[in-house]
Structure 1
């Protein structure tokens, strides 16, 4: 029965969903008992089946925060699939979804920074400002992630947000290697980013190897 339900989710077949529930009223309860797994909502989100996803959340709200075997929520999958309508709807019904951590403690905010998705990055910060403090397993902020992936548009959104809310100190937070935003921008040869950062950071701060951004510049 679970396989039929997953097929209906993949196809976005709402009529099939309710037909299955009529035959087996406990099918969603059995799925919910599994701590980590791909629910029909995950499948619908990955495929961008908006109406099916809405019906599923109405029937089983807990599925919205459920994580699959890689720790991904339905929001993660909608974001990966670039299903914008679903992404917007998920954070509208539950802003805390922005904090759900997948493998590597990667939140949707981190992932948006990674893929240079400045639109959703801004929306995530709007609905959940505290998500800026979430760290990956490597102690990376979303700023670290954006710079390591050369996501310049995402970085500009983050910098603008940090300046607007007077939180530039987050730029100086260090990852597990002791590198802050300026260290990474210098190491990855992003001069335009460096020019923006030196206005807001202490240039003599040292990384885990006891090197300043200027030391890194000369090394490379």
Structure 2
């Protein structure tokens, strides 16, 4: 792919211009395949997700579903970038298309569920758990569940929601999972004086 083509594709993604995308595909039918050959790259889907261009992102995802799981050079997939830029509608539309994006691991094994647990976004947390219940089983490279992450970041409301949800789906055994330092959720709660979490 030439520098000029790459530049035009980047401009199309940043503007959310679907027509410009198809002009480029008309000129080179293998354009998206060439990008897919690069193991770590900012795809047009990454750029569109960062900019909040929903229609462009969904069109790219339809044409090249593999882009949704691809990490860029910083270890982030498009859903991570949409979360970082607080493009909530983008996030919700992406998981409408593929619910399993909630459990895609990025840098250091952090999933979108870990990210919302760290930030304390209860609304998205509930939507993620409803869309992809299996995401609660993912751990980071430090063997941290989303519960560990919430506790370490003092996000007690998130913890409360997750604990209630775990009871509801009968997955309480996760509470005994240890991170790489041997800490369960209870250990972290005691060390951080989370009286409310200990009550749960």
Structure 1 segments of 4 or more deviating over 3 A?
none
Aligned pair partner of 2:55 in 47, 51, 56: 51
CA contact (8 A) 1:2 1:27 kept: no
**Unpaired segments of 5 or more residues in structure 2?**
none
CA contact (8 A) 1:116 1:154 kept: yes
User: How far 1:195 sits from its partner (Å)?
Assistant: 2.4
TM-score, with structure 1 as normaliser: 0.84
Aligned pair partner of 2:161 in 132, 157, 161: 157
Structure 2 residue 185 is the aligned partner of structure 1 residue 181:
yes
Partner SS state of residue 137, structure 1: coil
Structure 2 residue 81 is the aligned partner of structure 1 residue 98:
no
**Unpaired segments of 5 or more residues in structure 1?**
197-220
User: How far 1:100 sits from its partner (Å)?
Assistant: 1.0
Equivalent residue number for residue 13 of structure 2: 9
Distance 2:17 2:97 in 1: 22
Equivalent residue number for residue 171 of structure 1: 175
TM-score, with structure 2 as normaliser: 0.92
Aligned pair partner of 1:71 in 71, 75, 79: 75
How far does the alpha carbon of each residue in 1:88-136 deviate from its partner, in whole angstroms, 9 at most, with x for none?
1111111221221111101111111011111121122112211111111
CA contact (8 A) 1:116 1:146 kept: yes
Aligned length: 196
Distance 1:28 1:58 in 2: 12
User: How far 1:3 sits from its partner (Å)?
Assistant: 2.0
Partner SS state of residue 190, structure 2: helix
Which protein has the larger Cα radius of gyration, Structure 1 or Structure 2?
A: 1
RMSD: 1.3
